[in-house]
Structure 1
Amino acid sequence: MDHHHLLHYLSLLVVMLAGAKIGGALLQRIGQPAVLGELLVGVILGASLLGWVQADDEIVTLFKELGVIILLFEIGLETDLKKLLQVGGVSTAVALAGVAFPFALGYGVTRALGHSDIVSIFTGAALTATSVGITARVLSDLGRLQDPEGQVILGAAIIDDVIGLVILAVVSGVASGPGFSPLLAAKTAGIAFGFLAVTLLVGRWLVPLVAKLLAKVTLPGTPTILAIIIALGLAWLADRAGSALIIGAFAAGLLLRELPQHEQIEKGVASLGHFFVPIFFVAVGAAVDVRAFNPLDPAARPTLLLGGLLVVVAIIGKFAAGFVPFWFRGNKYVVGVGMVPRGEVGLIFAQKGLDFGAFTAPMFSAVALMVMVTTFIAPPLLKLLLRPLPKQKSDTQGIEDLVVGPEQKASTAAKGEA
């Protein structure tokens, strides 16, 4: 890389990071998650408006992939498998319905509009996601994390993400293969689940060894660096095994959560994520073609139609899932609305569809529109349905760092004390 290109990418990083922070802060001021601000800044900086950020640039793509690996690693570190197994039948029922309903509706709508099987499958898969981070942030702000509804939502959202990652691994495998077949889908799902199972089983003897190693090495930052090495290594192994990079990163998070130093690792990885994760969201936003949303352009109308229909079925599918556990006596409206936001997880699905060539730019824009709208509407609806209560300390509160960051929480707390 010559000096001119180096200066170009340095200035590009300055613009992307500064824009992400400014956009995130502005959106938070109006009660929306910071991730939406980062996404909208990407749309502004992207090729269809200012043209400063090219989403397919090799260096941008490298930073973007590192960002999504770190994001999934963070989610894995925040996922307590023991609690996940204890959430009971209500969360499981909501989660399974929250995957099945949106997938079927998304696939059906896309197929009815004349798109191919693989495009329809990727679209249905994108609708299965539920944003743990955004839902947790809103419930925490309202002091409702410990409510039965809050626990059901968080448990179901985490289960959705695990299932969703496996679905993503399956559809990615299908997209890179000869085409869809039940046998190939079953094989890819088996590899994804098998990789997670083997990683966790091997982790039973690996974690104590890593803990002993960390206890002997006192160099600053060693736990974080070793954790990142393991995350990148497992991401590589997952890809070599025929699964997805993000499955490996997520598995690494689940594994290292058992370390005595996991809190130190979480802080270090979160600090690293403050650099890479916003770049991922800005780059995803840059891939959105706003010209596809121009109602005056006849060529844009199919994208607007699909995007609008996806918004409708995305909301209906998740909202209906909240009513599946008929034996649950809590507020099913709250559970249904809490499952609606797709957030960062939906964007990962959309980006992978673009990476594998399943989505064209207009198709990607339609799915991104669905992600943005569902993420925008859920927080205010939850605030309407739930009366704020004093916040309670919760083991799931750390999930907020995935979206808002510890320094922003500290700022919010300082304002509250004032």
Structure 2
Amino acid sequence: MFLNDTLALWSAVSTPPLLATVAAEYSPIILSGVLLTLVTIFIASKIGSEVAKQLDFPPVLGELVAGVIVGVSALHLVIFPEGGLAATDSLLMTALQALNQLSPEGIETVFESQSEVISVLAELGVIILLFEIGLESDLRQLKEVGIQAIVVACVGVAAPFAAGTAGLMLVFHVAAIPAIFAGAALTATSIGITSKVLSELGQLKSKEGQIIVGAAVIDDVLGIIVLAVVASLAKTGEIDVTNVIYLIVSATVFLIGSILLGGFFNKAFTSIVAKLKTRGNIIIPAFIFAFFMAFLGNAIHLEAILGAFAAGLVLDESDARDELDELIKPIADLLVPIFFVTVGARADLGVLNPTVPENRAGLLIAVFLVVVAVIGKLVTGWAVFGIPGVNRWAIGVGMIPRGEVGLVFAGIGAASGILDKPLQVSIIIMVILTTFVAPPFLRVAFGESVETAPPIESTSE
């Protein structure tokens, strides 16, 4: 009863006033729709991640591909109203309509309301994902690798961003803001995927490995700042130089200020945790901090994910960090797959069907983004200086995979409406291909030196 009342309230505040009463009437069926959709998402995510793991690929890509299969591109089990889709296009909604004998208007209300709930859960998932990434971004490691990693990261962000944005605008005549957003999606590097492969090769503590991992962490930081800026630009719909400068400065000050004040926040967090004696004494204060920082990010016209990422960076230095890492995993395991599956579910691969003449331009954009994504990171190996005998190919290849951060760009771009379907799908294809090709290429790049690699103390991620 409580859940039904909650959904009725949610429907009332998220639906136009004339429809609020109707939505409240259907709240038990809306709950059924939400539950059935979540069952579908969780089954798809687990099957996809397990298959990907068996094939030695990152589980997150399995979740993405599973989303594509259950979404608008294939099975039509998980779809959303965007793009003119109706309840009759969803097999789940059709089943609910038959079971409850709903009118066409009634099932449309159920469809729109349950889609809103799933979208909010996906947004919470991405906030928790960025909080978790912040916790895993070791600031002490950044200090150790120093200037080399910073140079590599800056080149790895600037080169694909500039080439991607310019190419989309000049060659494909994409509007400025969507082109900037797509160019920004090329900037990030997946530290999780690269670290895993480096660990398996025994190269995690090598000079190349240290540079790659450090640069990947900095890439994520720079990428989140870029994402906050371009997503905020998308809200205004125009490029105002003053506004751009404000966004860049405010995002940078917000992130650096949070880190500099980390000592104070950590002491307060540790003190609060020590005084609490009931269940959730660590995880609840942590999420209060993360959600409040996410709120602040939104309040200054940036993105909530920037605040969540900053919160993770700050709490990474706390005494309870290891325990917090373990406590956040079950929550992330529950909500983050909703985000990745819905990103895949929203991607209509049909818009890249080459047999349809209108789709060929989108397919060319996808090829262009993949090429820029690969070359834009390969050049980072030649940004390293002052280290004789360094494996520049290995550094460049190690920076290629985009992974989960690239999908965050695609998801937010689609949700904001700034990316049309061909451009959104092109970004997803870029993320998939760069993440698939990087691990085997990294093994090849290190092939000559694996046997002579120095022993390392630990091969943990």
After TM superposition, is the score higher than 0.5? yes
Residue number in structure 2 paired with 1:288 = 347
1:99-248 mapped onto 2 (5 Å cutoff): 99-111=157-169, 112-248=171-307
- Alignment partners' CA distance in 2, 1:30 and 1:101: 32
Distance apart, 1:200 and its partner CA: 2.6
Structure 1 unaligned blocks of 5 or more:
399-418
Bigger-Rg structure (1/2): 2
Contact 2:177 2:237 in 1 (8 A): no
1:8 aligns with 2:33: yes
Which residue pairs with 2:118 in the alignment?
60
1:335 equivalent in alignment to 2:395 = yes
Q: Deviations over 1:282-310 (max 9, x none)?
A: 01111111102211111211111100111
Superposition deviation, residue 352 in structure 1: 1.8
In structure 2, the residue matched to 1:39 is 64
- Give, in whole Å, the separation in 2 of the partners of 1:42 and 1:34: 13
For 1:100 and 1:246, the matched residues in 2 are separated by: 22
Over residues 238-283 of structure 1, what are the superposed CA-to-partner deviations in whole Å (9 max), with x where a residue is unaligned? 1102221111001111111122111111111112111111111101
Give the 3 Å change call, closer, same or farther, for CA 303–178 of structure 1 in structure 2: closer
Instruction: Determine whether 1:300 maps to 2:359.
Output: yes
CA shift for structure 1 position 47: 1.6
Which one of 349, 352, 366 corresponds to residue 426 of structure 2?
366
Tell me how far 1:178 sits from its aligned partner: 4.8
CA deviation string 1:184-229 (max 9, x = no partner): 2111011111111332333322321221221122223320121111
Match of 1:73 in 2: 131
d(CA) in 1 for partners of 2:375, 2:428: 17
Count of paired positions = 397
Give the stretch that moved more between structures: 345-354 or 200-209: 200-209
* CA distance in structure 2 between the partners assigned to 1:206 and 1:8 by the alignment: 41
Q: Is residue 303–residue 366 contact of structure 1 (8 Å, CA) maintained in 2? A: yes
Counterpart secondary structure, 1:296: coil
- Once the two structures are TM-superposed, the CA of residue 4 in structure 1 deviates from its matched residue by 1.9
- Between the aligned partners of 2:375 and 2:179, the Cα distance in structure 1 is 18
Q: State the one-letter code of the partner of 2:166.
A: G
Tell me if 1:382 matches 2:428: no
Whichever residue aligns with residue 59 of structure 1, its letter is V
Match of 2:11 in 1: none
Quick one: distance in 1 between partners of 2:119 and 2:263?
A: 35
Normalising by structure 1, what TM-score?
0.91
Asked whether the 8 Å contact 2:397–2:445 carries over to 1, the reply is no
Query: Which of 328, 339, 344 does residue 404 from structure 2 map onto?
Result: 344
Deviation at 1:23, TM superposition (A): 0.7
Indicate if the aligned counterparts of 1:221 and 1:268 stay in contact, CA closer than 8 A.
no
Provide the secondary structure at the position in 1 that maps to 2:432. Answer: helix
Residues of 1 paired with 2:49 and 2:372: CA distance? 28
Q: Which residue of 1 aligns with 2:102?
A: none
User: Equivalent residue of 1:322, what SS?
Assistant: helix
Cα distance in 1, alignment partners of residues 188 and 260 from structure 2: 26
Please report how far the alpha carbon of residue 357 of structure 1 lies from its aligned counterpart in structure 2 after TM superposition.
Answer: 2.0
Aligned 8 A contact 1:109 1:310 in 2: no
Structure 1 residues 381-402: Cα deviation after superposition (integer angstroms, max 9, x where no partner): 11222356799555x945xxxx
Q: Deviations over 1:2-40 (max 9, x none)?
A: 222212211211111121111111112112111110000
- State the alpha-carbon separation in 2 of the partners of residues 35 and 162 from structure 1: 20
On the 8 A contact 1:319/1:339 being kept in 2, the answer is yes
1:82 paired with 2:140, answer: yes
How much is the aligned-residue C-alpha RMSD, in angstroms?
1.7
- Structure of higher RCO (CA pairs closer than 8 Å, 6+ residues apart): 1
- In structure 1, the partner of 2:370 is 311
Kindly, what percent of the aligned residue pairs are identical?
A: 41
Q: Distance in 2 between matches of 1:126 and 1:77?
A: 22
For the residue of structure 2 that corresponds to 1:239, the secondary structure is helix
- Per-residue CA deviation, residues 127-150 of structure 1 (Å, 9 max, x unaligned), is 111111111122122222111111
